[in-house]
A and B are shown apart, each in its own frame.
Chain A
Amino acid sequence: MSIDKDTVKHISKLARISLDENKVESLSKDLTSIMKFIESLNKLNTDKTTPLTSIINASLKSRKDEVKDGKIRDQILKNSPEKNDEFFVVPKVIE
């Protein structure tokens, strides 16, 4: 599968990464060569194989739903590039 320039633009939109127009061409080339490499898997018939979903042979344990931390608002906000006392600040989303 070749990843053309329109596909590059589409997936970078989905991934929320803006791209310079001059980068699109080289990305299309790189991603196409990676996808060609990946597609060697098509030679392998996997119709009767069940997919591996967990590498450890144990199901995830459940635990009691109790609060063990919390009250760490200031710690959570500490690394925010923009904040006021209690909130993260983002560009206006409602007109």
Chain B
Amino acid sequence: MTNEQNPQIESGSQYDVLTDGVFLEDVRRQMLKFATMQLGDSHQAEDAVQEALIGALKNAASFGGRAALKTWIFAILKNKIADTLRQKQRSVNVSSLQRDGDEDEDFSELFDSKGFWQPEERPVAWGNPEASLREGQFWIVFEACLEGLPPKQARVFMMREFIELDADEICAEVNLTTSNLHVLLHRSRLRLRECIENKWYLEGEKNVELS
């Protein structure tokens, strides 16, 4: 790589992220995906990612390595997204709130008429969830499960668990009542839990049962 005396990088011995195209492209792609999911608009997502990256890379030289830098970049992106959401809220975007007719689902596949677990849907113990976090394959399943959520559920779930906004902030930004938000989060957790259990924790055992 040609890093010919970039004046911004004084401490020449340090890892220089600006020359690491693979890392940057990778992070950018992830940021974009994340931002698009949150904002529901690819242009606004591009803008947020762009600004966050520029902001973060100005200080890149002061970070020791990729992991720390990446955490920092995502922290900035989260703030950018929160800002954008707040502005959006002011210019009330009604259509995006109404597209979710698909969310009037019933959960009769999960619960019987009295509200108890259907026998085959009752949650099973997950063994060692911490170990899953170290398996690359697990994250593919996890991501697929997230993407399988209905859009509005996915959005509030991500706001709550990724961006770590609190309930009041989410209600204000997405224009929901508190009880609506609780319903959406409850549904998203039921679904996500079921998906992870079926696609990951039961996969291994399934082969045994089928034989």
Question: Do A and B truly interact?
Answer: no
Q: Which residues of A contact B (CB under 8 A)?
A: none
Seen from chain B, the residues whose Cβ lies within 8 Å of a Cβ on chain A are: none
